[in-house]
Structure 1
Amino acid sequence: SVANGFVALERMEAFGEPELIVSDHKILEETGNSLYHHLSANDLLIPLIICSGSIDYEYKERTYPLVSAFVQKPFSIESLSYLVKSITTEKIAQPSFIAVKLPILLSFINKSFDLYLKLSEANYVKIIKQGEAFTKEDSDKFLKKGISHLYISIKDSFEFLKAYEENLNLVLSSKSVNNETNIVHTIDVLVSIESVSKRLNWTPELIQSAKKNIDTAIKILSKDAALRNVLKNKLANPSSSYSRHVGLLSYMCSIFSQNLDWGGDTVQTKLVMAALLHDLAVDESYYDDIKNWNKKAANLRDRTPETIKYRLHPLDASKLLQPLENLPPDIELILLQHHEKKDGSGFPRALTSTRISQLATFFNIVEELVEFIGDGENLETSLTDFKMWGDAYYESGHYKKTYEFIRKKIG
């Protein structure tokens, strides 16, 4: 028994490490703080039981991970004795690393932990640093070599579990709307934006905020059963070019529209809803050659039935909103104008920049960027090409101001 943490340190120096430490909470927050830091700095795995009259377990466990157990006062000597025996009876070697399956690692973006490869029971080598991308190509490479797990350091386990819980909660919450949220929560879609998020310096907070905006948009749209089924069917294949296009467009619309000084508080949700719906009326057969169909639709002299059908898909998309009540009219306007061009060369109405809404202008420029990025290969070249093209094309009018706002987000 000692009076405080300083005396405890002196005893440890004189007599060696104890088998167990039981202390009042002051060991953490007052004179004993130095003892806790000594244990932490020297990686001493001495069982530590803290007794306190008031315990915020989540805060304590997050702030003081070395503590083996927290006991709330008052307690009986029998309960404390049982706890001591359960901690000290069997010595279990504490692992230095935790194995994580490769598919789970693919669900993380801008991860806050390093990844290690296990060479032997005592030898681990760092192969991917904190914040670096872990892609499907990396996973496939390890699987071909018979490696199904990578490892994280035990010191990073709290951050890992926190991030994993957030991902899991998003997936579980999506079940309440019949899995429509697969557009943003499947591994394939998340992997497709990995390199983009890293290149554009998207923080975990930005990505989490975008996910919430997308969840909100999907839940609103899914209130109509027919629209919910259309969404589900169109986005059934999360690795398709269509799903990747819509997924990346949804993220970019949400993240790029943060801090806009116009559009209102719901601007992000409006843009994401438009991203989810804008091509929902397009038959998949058109999507294999979408650029060519855009050219054909812009040529108003082309009156073949197939071209007319494609030319009118913005109108068909806007009709999908009719069963939903109290939606802002901005969303319908974005859908109607998402193929219009500033010089009047778009469709279906060949509007010029002065007649295209500001939100539709924003949406159209972001979609141009997504089309330049494509499948994400040669990303730096794609971004450079977009900026060179945009600098020349958006040289005047309110399109220029909106383009310059988005261009700054690219860097």
Structure 2
Amino acid sequence: MRVLLYLPNKDVRELLGFQLSSQVKVILREMDSEEDAAGALRKDDAHKQAYEILAAANSEEAANKLSENAEAIDIAIVPGDRTDSVIFGHLKTRKHPVAVIFVYEKSPPDPSRVPGATVLGSVPIQEVVEGVVKLLKSSAEKAVEADGDSEYCPIRTTLLIKAIPLHSDIYIRLSKNKFVKLFHAGMKFTQDDMRKYYETKKVEYMYLRRNQMDEFVTNFRKELMDLVARPSATPAELQETAEVAFEAIHEMIHQLGFTKEIQEVAKAQVAVTLRAVGKNPKLQDLLDGLKAKGDYLARHSTVLAHVGCCIAKEMEWASEATFSKLVIAAMMHDMTLQNHELARINTLTELKERAGEFPPDLVKSYHLHPSKAADLVRSFEEIPADVDAIVLQHHERPGGAGFPRGLTNNYIAPLSAVFIVAHDLVQFMLDRAEKFQLGDFLAQRKTEYSQGNFRKVITALEKMMSAGGAS
């Protein structure tokens, strides 16, 4: 395991390095270059309980080493007093989580200030040797090496709390391929236990092994259905739960496949979304609570369900069957995509302009995702007819410039036209967030959507704007 050690006091840093070398089997090395350090790591791969320290003399050097070794550094030992330092700045924006031990003089830092870190603990400088050694030994005993992308499923902690009690091992992630077992199977822990851990450590995701997911899936579905049946559930609570549920379902499909059990969870998510939408959905209600942050695919899909139903209601298509089709299509249409930036792309022209940002295999997957998502829908048991057609056509355009089939207006189904405009509108909304104006969207898109069924959708949006349904 690779450890980054940076403490501004050279004497303390050298003392801690010496003690770690003798007590935790640390291999302390001063390297002239990152290439030498990487080579040494490869040679020491057999020392499974050994640590290697990358020493840094100042905050800037520590931040640079964290950045250059984003996936290689497992634990960072850094000062916790200066929240305005370069090292804190890096930890706030880091993409790959790193485990951190803070050493402080006056007071420990707030873990919520460093979302790019998994805080193992904070140690007062007076107890630096004993405290750090204890935390490192504990981490070494619990750490599990694995291919995280294939063996573990990430579950948002707020959702996992709702699925308690579980009789499964629960892990947190230290690095790309290292996990620490937080709760052992058979341990007696409650929702309050996990909630307290979440509130103090601010760990957004926890992990379950793929072969231990069945119990979570069962509890997850029950929690969703209980929420649907609860009279006191608010639209905001339902909408938030629908987003978190989408995120979990999306991950489970990619990890486990679209099994019958996960299909049942997906149906429960649809029920939550339909309850959130209600029988009389209003676009302004959605805009009032709209936030641009969060998991893009989850936010995009749940907002799309609401917007599609708002438009259908204005067109006097507000039947339960129509709302169900639009909500299921919204949930499934991008389910085969995993790259959030790629999912933001709406046209082939935009894809061509940004093709250099993505590997060729991802570009190909984008071209194919409407067809693959439609295939996924067809494997979905007991859903309304035509949902697969809506999903297949969601990137078509009335003038024939869309994909995958390049259909023109006359060959695009009426409900698909609603979904296509809603899909475009949601992208417009999320890109602008609080600056969104429905009139701006209509001014830019009215000409493109001036034919046949598309014209009816634009007319519905114009009625909504004139009635004050959105600014």
Decide: shared fold, TM above 0.5.
Answer: no
Q: TM-score, normalised by structure 1?
A: 0.42
Larger CA Rg, structure 1 vs 2: 1
